[in-house]
């Protein structure tokens, strides 16, 4: 099913329909919530949620008239005002379009005219620099007159523009009085900073109209970065953004399938993708999936990144040969290290490249699995180390520069860890470098290796 037609009835594995219903209640209320931001990091399912929300509005007979704008696709046109107006026009029946077009045309012409005047002003300044010194004062005088005329003309145009904008607002208000319009602006965080900021300002100054509401589906961190890019780091971006936004909420990255215990949406998504994969299901047991859970949780992978991860696990299965494939009877430790190698290939290429060169930095390996030190030797029997602990210890043993916090001191501790590592590989640990098992998975995805 295409993203345009998808609904909560078809797929709502993260239980987001109740959130959509609350958004609709807010939009239908008498409280000012527009412009509203639906915030979330890249790859957290914002676009799919937005499309489902729009389809929910359409299917349940609400009075709201939703319209969707992909701001990133419109970025190349460099005219946010035109993008917004054309979206509203497409929403209207043919009979209602004419009055809005009549009101919109003078505002659009003003925007073009002021842009041309800025270019003329720049050219005048360039001419002054090129004129011989003897004529400079005369030209400067003429230039001052030209600039004065330009300013007077611009002020006149500005007054007229204010009147034209008011006329446009009245036309919009008339169109929306019986059936409110909700404009969903998606992908604003992917646009050029100047386009994103100009879109915000157009919404504020031209579309601040009763019964015309905006929902911006975006990453607010990136939006603040766009504001700073346009106006400088000295501007407090959040305070600037607060001038434009009435209400904001973050799309949750957890949900409660049993009504009580919160579950990571990304981890749940991974497990469903693996369960649906004929390439992966037979070879991955509970302990393997728990390790994947850990990698996702510690590195805060988004839904989109989880899809990338699972896809690369499937690619590994296709490319791996013989006993390098993940299979039911494959020794436990090998599978864990292959999974870790695929993870590094996808999300930690700098660590993958170092390992490929034979350079092992235990701090980087530990960070990738959410550890900051080696588990103390005297706690190994009471608290059995997990795969992340063991991989960190392996990296410490093979480190090219053994950092203090990753040293394994003493013969007893060394013997204990070697025994644990043998059990990790079910007494079939490879001869030589164990890290080479991780590297073999990386090389497989690089289309190298055996």
Question: Residue 375's pLDDT band (boundaries 50, 70, 90)?
Answer: confident
Which of the residue ranges 220-224, 363-367, 430-434 would you say has the lowest mean pLDDT?
Answer: 430-434
DSSP 317-376: HHH--GGGS--TTS-HHHHHHHHHHHHHHHH-HHHHHHHHTT---HHHHHHHTT-SSPPP
* pLDDT given for residue 172 in this prediction: 87
What the block records as the tokens of 124 is 């005048």
H or E element, residue 175: helix 136-176
* pLDDT given for residue 137 in this prediction: 53
Please state the separation of Cα 445 from the chain's center in Å.
Answer: 25
Mean pLDDT over residues 203-227, rounded?
Answer: 92
What the block records as the tokens of 62 is 């609400």
* pLDDT given for residue 142 in this prediction: 53
Chain segment 282-309, per-residue pLDDT in tens: 899 999 999 999 999 999 999 999 999 9
Question: Residue 395's pLDDT band (boundaries 50, 70, 90)?
Answer: very high
Q: How many CB atoms lie within 10 A of CB 317?
A: 20
Mean pLDDT over residues 237-255, rounded?
Answer: 92
What the block records as the tokens of 92 is 């209207």
DSSP 374-409: PPPGGGTTTS---HHHHHHHHHHHT-SS--GGG---
Mean pLDDT over residues 87-109, rounded?
Answer: 79
* pLDDT given for residue 115 in this prediction: 47
What the block records as the tokens of 357 is 């060169």
List the domain boundaries for the chain: 17-250, 263-445
Question: Residue 193's pLDDT band (boundaries 50, 70, 90)?
Answer: very high
Establish how many alpha carbons lie within 13 A of residue 341's alpha carbon, considering only the half-sphere containing its beta carbon: 27
Residue 331 has pLDDT above 70, yes or no: yes
Residue 382 has pLDDT above 80, yes or no: no
* pLDDT given for residue 121 in this prediction: 37
For residues 450 and 190, the model is more confident at 190
Place of tokens 């410490």: 396
Question: Residue 127's pLDDT band (boundaries 50, 70, 90)?
Answer: very low
Q: Which fold has domain 17-250?
A: Rossmann fold (3.40.50)
Percentage of residues in the chain having pLDDT higher than 90: 54
Chain segment 57-73, per-residue pLDDT in tens: 998 878 899 999 999 98
Query: Do residues 223 and 188 touch, judged by C-beta distance below 8 A?
Result: yes
Query: DSSP label at 408?
Result: -
d(C-alpha 153, C-alpha 110), whole Å = 12
d(C-alpha 185, C-alpha 435), whole Å = 47
Q: What is the pTM of this model?
A: 0.77
d(C-alpha 299, C-alpha 364), whole Å = 13
Mean pLDDT over residues 66-83, rounded?
Answer: 85
d(C-alpha 58, C-alpha 187), whole Å = 21
Q: Which residues contact 294 (CB under 8 A, 6 or more apart)?
A: 369, 370, 386, 387, 388
* pLDDT given for residue 128 in this prediction: 38
For residues 99 and 122, the model is more confident at 99
Which of the residue ranges 148-162, 313-327, 429-443 would you say has the lowest mean pLDDT?
Answer: 148-162
Question: Residue 130's pLDDT band (boundaries 50, 70, 90)?
Answer: very low
- 214 forms bridges with which residues in the sheet? 183
d(C-alpha 417, C-alpha 393), whole Å = 8
Chain segment 13-40, per-residue pLDDT in tens: 999 999 999 999 999 999 999 999 999 9
Question: Residue 107's pLDDT band (boundaries 50, 70, 90)?
Answer: confident
Residue 135 has pLDDT above 80, yes or no: no
d(C-alpha 380, C-alpha 248), whole Å = 47
């Amino acid at each position: 099913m295409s993203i345009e037609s998808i609904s909560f009835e078809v797929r709502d594995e993260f239980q987001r329909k109740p959130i959509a219903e609350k958004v609709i209640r807010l939009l239908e209320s008498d409280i000012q919530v527009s412009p509203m931001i639906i915030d979330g990091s890249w790859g957290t399912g914002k676009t799919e949620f937005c499309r489902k929300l729009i389809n929910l509005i359409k299917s349940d007979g609400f009075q709201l008239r939703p319209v969707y704008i992909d701001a990133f696709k419109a970025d190349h046109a460099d005219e946010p005002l035109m993008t917004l107006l054309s979206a509203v026009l497409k929403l209207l029946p043919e009979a209602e379009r004419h009055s809005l077009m009549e009101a919109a045309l003078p505002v659009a012409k003003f925007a073009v005219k002021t842009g041309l005047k800025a270019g003329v002003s720049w050219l005048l300044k360039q001419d002054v620099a090129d004129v011989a010194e003897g004529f400079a004062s005369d030209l400067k005088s003429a230039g001052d007159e030209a600039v004065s005329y330009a300013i007077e003309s611009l002020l006149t145009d500005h007054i007229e523009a204010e009147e034209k904008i008011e006329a446009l607002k009245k036309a919009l208000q008339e169109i929306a009085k019986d059936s409110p319009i909700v404009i969903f602006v998606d992908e604003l965080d992917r646009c050029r900073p100047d386009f994103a900021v100009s879109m915000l300002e157009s919404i504020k100054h031209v579309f601040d109209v009763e019964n015309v509401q905006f929902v911006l589906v975006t990453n607010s961190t990136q939006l603040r970065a766009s504001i700073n890019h346009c106006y400088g780091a000295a501007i407090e971006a959040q305070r600037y953004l607060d001038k434009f936004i009435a209400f904001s909420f973050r799309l949750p990255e957890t949900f409660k399938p049993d009504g009580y215990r919160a579950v990571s949406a990304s981890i749940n998504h991974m497990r469903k993708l693996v369960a649906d994969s004929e390439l992966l299901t037979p070879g991955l047991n509970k302990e393997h999936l728990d390790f994947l859970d850990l990698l996702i949780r510690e590195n805060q992978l988004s839904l989109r990144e989880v899809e990338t991860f699972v896809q690369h696990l499937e690619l590994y299965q296709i490319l791996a040969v013989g006993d390098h494939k993940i299979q039911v009877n494959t020794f436990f430790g090998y599978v864990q290290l292959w999974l870790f190698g695929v993870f590094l290939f996808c999300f930690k290429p700098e660590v993958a490249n170092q390992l490929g060169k034979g350079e092992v930095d235990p701090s980087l390996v530990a960070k990738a699995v959410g550890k900051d030190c080696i588990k103390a030797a005297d706690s190994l029997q009471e608290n059995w180390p997990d795969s992340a602990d063991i991989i960190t210890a392996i990296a410490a043993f093979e480190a090219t520069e053994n950092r203090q916090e990753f040293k394994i001191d003493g013969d007893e501790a060394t013997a204990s860890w070697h025994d644990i590592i043998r059990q990790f590989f079910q007494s079939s640990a490879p001869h030589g470098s164990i890290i080479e098992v991780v590297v073999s998975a990386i090389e497989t995805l690089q289309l190298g290796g055996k």
